[in-house]
Chain A
């Protein structure tokens, strides 16, 4: 059965817009204040020449300030943006990027993990299989989707749908947004470690193009569990890390309150990862972050996904898996020094 994406998207833009105004991040406060002043000026019924001039100047100033703030975000601030409650989540992109989404549920073994959504989708008519970690956009949704933190059944479901896609030659698009795989009793009982390991091994052999995009948080093994692809991209203000800054701070600095220090030390921003040769592309966000303009972000993301699929589809069929293997094979920094005698 084909299903159109739900049509309450516009409500969410409105709500997200309101939320971002209600809760500016600390470093966004100057922008927020100016925007409030601008609103007040714009609200004047019969603006004088002077007021109109002030409005124009203020708009320019806001743009300048956004550029200034967002070009100089430190890694810890970027984590705040990546986790911003108004930042578009996977379901927003499903609504804005896909012409339709036919959800396929269930892992055929335990249940249906709502933290990872899978299904067929059309993007500009192009048929793909979508695998998306969904955090939820309000408290109710966050509980339903377990904050985007999947159990083993979620990873198992993702892999089984990927195998289905490979059977029919559909490219796979993985949207990554998770603080990590869920650390619970049931998750351990049902083999979280095994299932992630199995996904890593099997994704390296799924014989169809795989495009992975980190849209928010790329949390460790929970992200990598759907992250073995041919083209790996990150949204500009997302992060992708071996451990959360809080987790790292808790272990190495003995307290999570040093998360900002860990965020600097871990070098996990999109710019770092591109520099390290870990990712293939940074997808630029609208000025002031994806949460300020969902529609624009979705348009850019869509173009990037389509280009990646097009490029990968042009690859000779026998070359794809070698390309993917070598992509990960070459990652690592070490020295080779002869062993001293004795």
Chain B
């Protein structure tokens, strides 16, 4: 059998992996224009020429979406461990330390409470740069705790997903089972009448797409994000034909009925606030 699918296919790096460095000139992948980094940053990570959505860091995302100083981080004490003693080209334990140094994050996920245009909500995000934004035990546990808190507090829940890695293979079966754990927590939240708005950013693939990211009551995608289950290379190797134009993009998902709307980053905050007002918990 040629193809062996999984919940952690990498998507090809179609966007830069790091935030656009301010003060430097950067080349836009989409329109090839050379743009000033500072300009991109001021523009919420959008290319000033063509509105291409660059990656933005977790911190920048929180600043963009939530009211100033309203965010209170929860469960920041959770740290990843190496449950399998996993070593590929380098030990996972060492990889974790390097990723933590590089990103300033302990793992790929941040959760907490905040306000969006005055509306209180529970907020979570996965940062696609920390080991591909993949979900191991810490990501699964933080999200589950946040969902349980949202259930208890009867608050809306917004999760912004970014993960090229899906379920984190370095934590093996523990990562796969996080998909079940987080989804079950969303089931209870759903039963309790909670509103979950899922925002898909570039890229959202594999086990993240096949669990919490797809389970929103309302599904929003940023324009032209890569979203799917299997990585495009795996699909191509399996079907042995060229993939259709725009395969596994936000627009493809909208066309096939899997997202409610595509919202450009500058409108995200207002749009989410507007949606929350329609879905008040009884």
Whether chain B is bound by chain A comes out as yes
A residues with CB within 8 A of B: 147, 149, 179-185, 187-194, 196-198, 200-202, 204-205, 219-222, 224-225, 227-228, 240-244, 246-248, 251-253, 261-262, 265-268, 272-273, 276, 278, 324-325, 328-329, 331-339
Surface stretch bound by A, among B21-29, B63-71, B73-81, B261-269 = B73-81
B101 part of interface (Cβ distance < 8 Å):
no
- The interface residues of chain A lying within 8 Å CB-to-CB of B169 are 242-243, 248, 251-252, 266
Q: How far is the CB of A206 from chain B (nearest CB, A)?
A: 10
B residues sitting closer than 8 Å to A (CB atoms) are 1, 3-10, 76-81, 83-84, 86-89, 137-138, 140-141, 144, 167-169, 171-181, 183-188, 190-191, 206-207, 209-215, 227-231, 234-235, 238-239, 241, 243-244, 247-248, 252, 256-258
Asked whether, in the complex, the Cβ of A335 is within 8 Å of the Cβ of B81, the reply is yes
A332, B140: Cβ atoms closer than 8 Å? yes
* CB pair B5 A331 closer than 8 Å: no
Return the contact of B248 from the options A188, A266, A328, A331 (Cβ within 8 A). Answer: A188
| A333 & B171 in contact (Cβ 8 Å cutoff) | yes
Which of B86, B176, B186 has the most chain A CB atoms closer than 10 A to its own CB? B176
Establish whether residues A334 and B190, one from each chain, have CB atoms under 8 Å apart when the complex forms: no
Across the interface, B4 reaches (CB within 8 A) one of A179, A201, A225, namely A179
If A193-B214, A197-B214 touch, whether A205 touches B191 (CB-CB below 8 Å) is: yes
Leading 3 A-B pairs by shortest Cβ distance: A183-B230, A204-B184, A180-B5
Q: A200-B184, A242-B176 are in contact. Are A336 and B211 (CB under 8 A)?
A: no
B86: which A residues are within 8 A, CB to CB? 265-266
Task: Given A180-B6, A240-B173, A251-B169, answer yes or no on A336-B77 (Cβ-Cβ < 8 Å).
Answer: yes
Contact of B88 among A147, A221, A265, A278 (CB under 8 A): A265
Picked from B6, B87, B211, B247, the residue with its CB within 8 Å of the CB of A244 is: B6
Q: Select which of B9, B174, B188 is within 8 A of A276 by beta carbon.
A: B174
A334 touches B78 (CB 8 A): yes
